[in-house]
Amino acid sequence: MSQNPADYLSLPLERFLSDVASRRPSPGGGSVAAAAGALSAALACMVLEYTAGKKRHAEHAERLGALLEELKRARGLFAQLIREDVAAYERYAAARASPDPAEPARALATAVAVPMEIAAVAEAVGRRLDEVKSFVSPALYSDVQAAGILAHAAAESAGCTAGGNLAALPDRAEAGRLEQQLAAILSRSQAHRDAVLAFRPSS
């Protein structure tokens, strides 16, 4: 069992930044990707908080409210995924010394699955930004764009972490299937970001 990862949500941001910058392997790229995703989701929540209750969107109020709840959930998930990424790395690093012969393979599978989940949640946030873009006032649209950029950055950087770990999977057929899955997630994520950036809101 690895040492419990720090609960960065209850610590000052400076602690997370210092730990990332330190000469230690974790938190690393996966955790940073999740943190970027959390910022994206938080910014998207702010935009929805201003947008969902507007009278002119009354007929879409239910859907906008649901989107806000989903983005809050995404924010919580990213926060959890920061911890999971640290834990997955530490588990993988410790697995070789485990008396359980199945542990190294399980630890590697988790080290692949966690960044893939970060990419998937980031794509889900991007999809919601893409959906909500036409409801947002011009005054808030730069926040939608920033959130869209961050969501895709989270997906792409988590994809890099996942890709590095996939390279170590001994089952190359399974690795190939997961690479395809990841490529599909990243392709959709990029399309959402591009759509958000290309959109021009009207007042």
Partner 1 sequence: MTSEANEPLSPSKILIVDDNAQNRELLVAYVEGIPNVRTREAANGLEALAVVAQDPPDLILLDIMMPRMSGFEVCRRLKSDPRTRDIPVLMVTALDEVGDHERAIDSGTDEFLTKPVDRAELVERVNGLLRLRRVKSRGEADAADRPEAR
- Which CB, 47 or 116, lies closer to partner 1? 116
CB of 98 to partner 1, least distance (A): 12
Please, which residues have CB within 8 angstroms of residue 190's CB and are 6 or more apart in sequence? 152
CB of 61 to partner 1, least distance (A): 20
What's the start-to-end Cα distance of the chain, in Å? 55
CB of 141 to partner 1, least distance (A): 23
- Which CB, 120 or 129, lies closer to partner 1? 120
CB of 83 to partner 1, least distance (A): 8
Going by C-alpha positions, the residue among 7, 32, 15, 10 that lies closest to residue 150 is 32
- Which CB, 57 or 127, lies closer to partner 1? 127
Q: How many CB atoms lie within 10 A of CB 103?
A: 16
- Which CB, 113 or 141, lies closer to partner 1? 113
CB of 116 to partner 1, least distance (A): 5
Residue type, 77: L
Residue-wise DSSP of 126-184: HHHHHHHGGGS-HHHHHHHHHHHHHHHHHHHHHHHHHHHHHTT-S-HHHHHHHHHHHHH
Instruction: Evaluate whether 94 touches 2 at the Cβ level (below 8 Å).
Output: yes
CB of 76 to partner 1, least distance (A): 4
- Which CB, 97 or 102, lies closer to partner 1? 102
Where along the sequence are the contacts to partner 1 (CB under 8 A)?
1-2, 4, 70, 73-74, 76-77, 79-80, 84, 87-88, 91, 102, 106, 109-110, 112-114, 116-117, 120-121, 123-124, 177-178, 180-181, 184
Query: Can you read off the two tokens belonging to residue 40?
Result: 């994206």
- Which CB, 19 or 30, lies closer to partner 1? 30
CA distances to 57, 72, 94, 133, 177 from 53, rounded to whole Å, are: 7, 16, 49, 15, 43
